[in-house]
Amino acid sequence: MSRVSEIARHGQQIWLDSLSRELLASGRLASLIGNDGIAGLTSNPAIFQQAIARDPAYGAALKALPAALSEPEARFEALALPDIRAACDAFTPLYEQSGRDAGYVSFEVSPSLAHDAGGTVAAARRLWGEIARPNLMIKIPATPAGVEAARQCLSEGINVNVTLMFSPQHVLDVFDAYDAGLARRLGGGGDVGQVRAVASVFVSRVDTRLDPLLEKAAPELGGKIAIASAKRAYAEWQRRYQREGEFDQLRAAGAQPPRLLWASTGTKNSAYRDVLYVESLIGPHTVNTVPEATLNAFRDHGEAASRLADGQEEALASLASLQGLGIDLDEHCQTLQQEGLGQFEQAFAALLAQVGGQVS
């Protein structure tokens, strides 16, 4: 048994944080599903920008696009949406066998819509209709406008992946939006049993930002705050969705809780174990979306064990220590979200320049 596939025994799904035409055509994705138990896939503008730059298959596909298709975003979607459909199809057996609980593929709305709730909803509706796969998730950033849009999409039965979450407040806002969206759908007579969502909490970037601040003041906290924050998010998930409470009515109607998804789990600090953000965050009812390098590292030497629920009191103590050091975690997390949006906007602009500059 693959070390990666052993993670599923602890209730966590591993998704691949990568997509390219080569991944699909070579059979590598099918192999990852069959041998490693990969249970889903995420994409974003940076992933597609790199794939189109590196994968020769896209060059021929670009030349084959009709000259009348001159708008760069439309040209990008003409390349990307077939890949998203093919990836969805590769996961369809798992999606069906799991009762809709696994086998999802995420595609992100344009980063330019991050602060436009109405525009995000319109884009999500269009992409949901054009891709036309029930195991699609529309990826929406956890800005205030994005959270509002996610709530509306869920009320319409559109699966969502709310991304670029960093702070405890982001987690609470997204949980509230999920519950409210499904409640609105149920109140309107809609089926809540078919809707799924993940809440994507970015992990390693938190340590990358805070470690330099902790190096002199509290070096013992280095490399621990991101994991502590994730454990706090999981404790909130447990409180809200594993105990009797406000979700009970939705659960009785067939609704499933959202899953927390750990993103940005490649280790950026070479002093840390290269599978730190995978091993430390394994726990039931969660997802970890990993880049291929991290996946390969875990396959080689990762140790699968359920650790996410352990040490939650210690995690809270570590987070409380930040206040005494004058470090406002929410403020830093808000900055990280803005930086993440900026990075996606830059990647999307580069991507559009790639595909827009090759109109025949």
Residue 65: other Cβ atoms inside 10 A: 17
Residue 135: other Cβ atoms inside 10 A: 22
Dist CA 360 CA 46 (whole Å): 25
Q: Is 346 helix (H, G, I), strand (E, B) or coil?
A: helix
Dist CA 210 CA 226 (whole Å): 9
Provide the angle, in degrees to the nearest 10, between the axes of the packed helices 225-241 and 204-217. Answer: 130
Check: CB of residue 165 under 8 Å from CB of residue 201.
Answer: yes
Tokens in use for 71? 């708008």
Give the chain's radius of gyration (CA, Å). Answer: 20
Q: Would residue 63 show up in a list of annotated catalytic residues for this protein?
A: no
Task: Please tell me what DSSP assigns to residue 159.
Answer: -
Dist CA 113 CA 108 (whole Å): 10
Q: Is 314 helix (H, G, I), strand (E, B) or coil?
A: helix
Residue 330: other Cβ atoms inside 10 A: 12
Q: Which of 139, 216, 224, 231 is catalytic?
A: 139
Dist CA 124 CA 236 (whole Å): 28
Check: CB of residue 144 under 8 Å from CB of residue 174.
Answer: no
Check: CB of residue 148 under 8 Å from CB of residue 184.
Answer: no
Q: Is 325 helix (H, G, I), strand (E, B) or coil?
A: coil
Q: List residues with catalytic annotation.
A: 139
